[in-house]
A and B are shown apart, each in its own frame.
Chain A
Amino acid sequence: MKIKLTEEQYNRLLVENDKDFLDGQVNFKHIGNKVTPFIVKLFNILKEKCKDCPFDKMMSMIKNDFALTEQEATLLTYNFNNFNAKNSFIEDFKEVLGQPLVYYGKFLYDMNIPVYGQVNGMIDGWAEGYGTSYVDFLEQIGNGDVEIIADWSGRVDADTYDVEWSVDDDYAQDQVSDIWHEYDEDDLSDFIDRVSIG
């Protein structure tokens, strides 16, 4: 028997499959988007061995003991904590079998990053100090008892090609805070074009 579907029903079915997250934009190799018997087992073991562990430790246990990817472990750790938060007395995770998993993963927004680097150079100048003779003055230079003065009318000879650059974190943080103001809340398509998932 064949079943006829409208385009809308077909698309909905695609979205409602048990593999994908975020309208089909993400799927994982070893887990789907619902709690399976495997995930029940994993959650039960996690509860037994690592119930009060920090997020990172839970994640690394899932990754190592169940041979899952970092992304899968991140999502499962988030969902394990989520189920625990919602149902504080889960004895056995069988009771959440078949329930949807919430997507939780890394998002990335492309932007221009401010960077800075230290450069060094040389300029003409002089060391200046008081002395009773040349020898006395040289001794003062040796002792560092002189003032070093650059001739600012000259040009600094510098190598700007060999700079060790770093991200300018403070400025970058300000820029990230401003991202939100760049977009119209009702039309986020331009924003979404610059977002990658995973």
Chain B
Amino acid sequence: MKIKLTEEQYYRLLVENDKKFLNGKVEYPHIGNKVNKFIVKLFNYIHQKVGPFTRSNSDDIRDIITRDFGLTRAEAELLRHNYANFSHDTDTDDFSEFIGADLEFYGELKFNTRIPMSAYIHGTMDGYVTGYATSVDDFIDKLEDNSWDDVDTDWVDDIESYPEDAEWEIDTDYAGDSITDEIRDLKRQGDEDGIIDRIEIMQ
């Protein structure tokens, strides 16, 4: 028996499959988007090894998933997050009761942007060292003893600088603010699609 679907129904079915997350944008090689028997076994194993999720066993859980079950880091992050959710909701030590339940997507995302940077550059220019003295010899003694008065320049000549040697660093304070401002501006302009186009999901 053949079943006819409208185009809308067909696309909905695609989205509602049991493999993909985030409207079909993400899927993993070893796990789907629902709790299956394998995941129940994995959760039970974790529970037996380290107990319910806590902040202190978080790294251990991820390591167990990648090492003992051969899953990718991205799969481990997602399963650890869901294990935390499920173990938070129940006192059970058998996760069979969650079979067929939806897994919540949890993964690494990145928003492509321009990063503000800062660096110090160095150079030299004509200037002078000054000091008070009773004679040239006395001045020499003061230079030698480091008891001169000031090093300065008239700031009138060109600076010979070497910008190519600058050691750039992310201007961390400004970077945080500038990304937040950028997102707010795009939202204000109603350009949510523009934001999403610049987000990549890491797998």
Known A-B contacts A102-B134, A109-B143, A142-B183; the reply to A158 vs B126 at CB < 8 A is no
Known: A165-B159, A179-B143. A120 touches B110 (CB 8 A): no
If A113-B124, A141-B179 touch, whether A125 touches B114 (CB-CB below 8 Å) is yes
B129 within 8 A of A: yes
In the assembled complex, the Cα of A116 lies from the Cα of B22 at a distance in Å of 50
Which of A12-20, A36-44, A90-98, A166-174 contacts the other chain? A166-174
Task: Let me know if A83 is at the binding interface, CB within 8 A.
Answer: no
Residues on B with C-beta less than 8 A from A108 are: 128-130
**Which residues of A in the span 143-176 have a Cβ within 8 Å of any Cβ on B?**
144, 146, 148-150, 156, 158, 160, 163, 165, 167-169, 172-173, 176
Summed over the interface, the residue pairs from A and B with CB atoms below 8 Å come to a total of 212
Chain B residues engaging chain A, CB cutoff 8 angstroms: 22, 77, 81, 104-136, 139-140, 143-144, 146, 148-149, 151-153, 155, 159, 161, 163, 166, 168, 170-172, 175-176, 179-180, 183-184, 195-196, 199-200, 202
Q: What is the distance, in angstroms, from A190's C-beta to the closest C-beta of chain B? A: 12
Hey, which chain B residues are within 8 Å of A115, CB to CB? Answer: 122-125, 153, 159, 161
Contact B176–A129 (Cβ < 8 Å) = no
- Give the number of residues in A that approach B within 8 Å (Cβ atoms): 64
Q: Nearest chain A CB to B97's CB is how many angstroms away?
A: 22
Closest 7 CB pairs of A and B: A113-B127, A125-B115, A107-B139, A160-B163, A126-B110, A172-B151, A137-B109
B152 to chain A, nearest CB (A): 7
Tell me if A138 and B112 are in contact (CB < 8 A). Answer: no
Interface string of A45-82 (1 = CB under 8 A from B): 00000000000000000000000000000100010000
Tell me the A residues contacting B by CB distance below 8 Å. Answer: 22, 74, 78, 102-134, 137-138, 141-142, 144, 146, 148-150, 156, 158, 160, 163, 165, 167-169, 172-173, 176-177, 179-180, 188, 191-192, 195-196
A sample of 10 inter-chain contacts (CB < 8 A) reads A74-B132, A113-B124, A115-B125, A119-B163, A121-B117, A123-B115, A123-B117, A125-B115, A156-B117, A172-B151
Q: Which of B119, B126, B127, B151 contacts A118 (CB 8 A)?
A: B119
